[in-house]
Amino acid sequence: MPVFSRLQGPVRRSTLALITATALGLSACGGGSDAPPDDGSGGTGPSASIEALKGDWVQKGCVKTGAQSFKKFLRARITGPNTLDYFEGVLSFGGNGCEGASVLAGPSKLGTVTFARSEAHQGLAAHWGTFLTVTGTRFGAIWTLRTGDRLCLLGDEIPSIQPSLSTVSASLATVPADNCFGR
């Protein structure tokens, strides 16, 4: 048996959460969808208001490990006219298909996002901002919404190297659909 099986209680849960977060992060290296960001439905597109970002989100992808499976959980809590607190946790499932009842570990606050501007057109809304982690590190961040209530997070630089909806759309085309979140 692996050493992991000997861990008990909070240490086991913490280790499991760390392993799951690492696996979810590494999952960005492959897979994905050829679908364009705009689904072409012609309906009302995502909102440029940060109010559309608030609430609980669950990652589309499923990490399977033996007889268990996991999904990343994201919570966005609006704290001001252009700011939100960003939390993440992990949903654990008893089976290996991310189905049925789950147990939430966390969420823990990762930091605060302050948005400088937002734009929306057809099937895409983008919110450009700065992510300040709980340890004081700053990153450029773009939170996007696609038609169908799909939230995708993009890393950026300060100042932005993705200053328009078209550059954001091009970046989103490289993000696997499983790395995005739904309600």
**Rounded Cα distance, 59 and 80, in Å:** 25
Q: Return per-residue pLDDT of the chain as tens, 183 residues.
A: 343 344 466 544 544 443 444 333 433 333 333 333 344 444 578 999 999 999 999 999 999 999 999 999 999 999 999 999 999 999 999 999 999 999 999 999 999 999 999 999 989 999 999 999 999 999 999 999 999 999 999 999 999 999 999 999 999 999 999 999 999
Examine residue 36 and state whether it is found in any structural domain, yes or no: no
Tell me the three state secondary structure of residue 116. Answer: strand
Examine residue 35 and state whether it is found in any structural domain, yes or no: no
pLDDT in tens, 92-128: 999 999 999 999 999 999 999 999 999 999 899 999 9
Examine residue 34 and state whether it is found in any structural domain, yes or no: no
CB of 160 closer than 8 Å to CB of 115 = no
Which structural domain, as residue segments, surrounds residue 99?
Answer: 3-29+44-182
Q: Which of 118, 123, 45 is nearest to 84 (CA)?
A: 118
Examine residue 132 and state whether it is found in any structural domain, yes or no: yes
Domain count along the chain: 1
Examine residue 39 and state whether it is found in any structural domain, yes or no: no
Examine residue 165 and state whether it is found in any structural domain, yes or no: yes
The pTM score is 0.77
Angle at CA 107, nearest 5°, toward 171 and 177? 25
Examine residue 38 and state whether it is found in any structural domain, yes or no: no
pLDDT in tens, 81-95: 999 999 999 999 999
Examine residue 37 and state whether it is found in any structural domain, yes or no: no
pLDDT of 146: 95
**Rounded Cα distance, 5 and 1, in Å:** 7
Token representation of residue 49: 């208001």
